[in-house]
Amino acid sequence: MSENFLEFVPYLALVTRIWVGSNMMIHGYPKLRNLKQAAEETKQSLGIPIGATYTTTILEFFGGLFLIIGLIVPIVGLFFAIFMIANVIMKKTKMNAAYIAPGKASYEIDITYLILSTILIVLGAGALSVDSIIDLW
C-alpha cells in the first residue's frame, strides 16, 4: 500500500517548495525594498550586523524565488535550514523567546521552516521544476 503513495512524493516536494518559497519572498520583499533601513533597524534593535541582514534578505527573496521555480532546491534548502537554526539561536539568546509563546517572541515557526527545509534537502525539487528539466539532459 505505501508503494502507491510514493508516486506522489514529487508533488509533495512541489507543494512544499512553492509554499515555503512564497512565504520567504513575502518576508523578504519589504526588507529588499528598504534594505538599508531594515539593516539599520535590525542592527539597532538586535545587534545583528548589517551584512547579515543584507545576506538574509537576499536569501529570503531570491532563495524563495529559486524554490518556486525549482532551481538548486537542495542547496537553497540547506541555506534556509542554516538560516532557521540561526534564527532560533538569535531568538533564544537575544529575545529570550520560548518555543510557543502567544503574543510574545517565539520560534515555533522557525522550527517548522527548518523541518520543511530539511524535507526539501532530502526530496529535492520534485515535479514541474527547473531542476527536473536539467536532470533530463
Is 86 in contact with 117 (CB distance < 8 Å)? no
**The model's pTM:** 0.92
Residue type, 90: M
Helix (H, G, I), strand (E, B) or coil at 106: strand
Q: Using CA atoms, how far apart are residues 89 and 86, in angstroms rounded to an integer?
A: 5
Q: Tens digit of pLDDT for each residue in 20-62? A: 999 999 999 999 999 999 999 999 999 999 999 999 999 999 9
Q: At what angle do helices 50-58 and 35-46 cross, to 10 degrees?
A: 130
- Helices within 96-129 (DSSP H only): 108-123
Q: Using CA atoms, how far apart are residues 74 and 40, in angstroms rounded to an integer?
A: 31
Q: Tens digit of pLDDT for each residue in 74-131? A: 999 999 999 999 999 999 999 999 999 999 999 999 999 999 999 999 999 999 999 9
62, 27, 64: which is closest to 42 by C-alpha? 27
Q: Phi and psi for 34 in degrees, rounded to 5?
A: -130, 55
Cell of 49: 550586523
Q: What is the dihedral of CA 30, 32, 34, 40, to 10 degrees?
A: 110
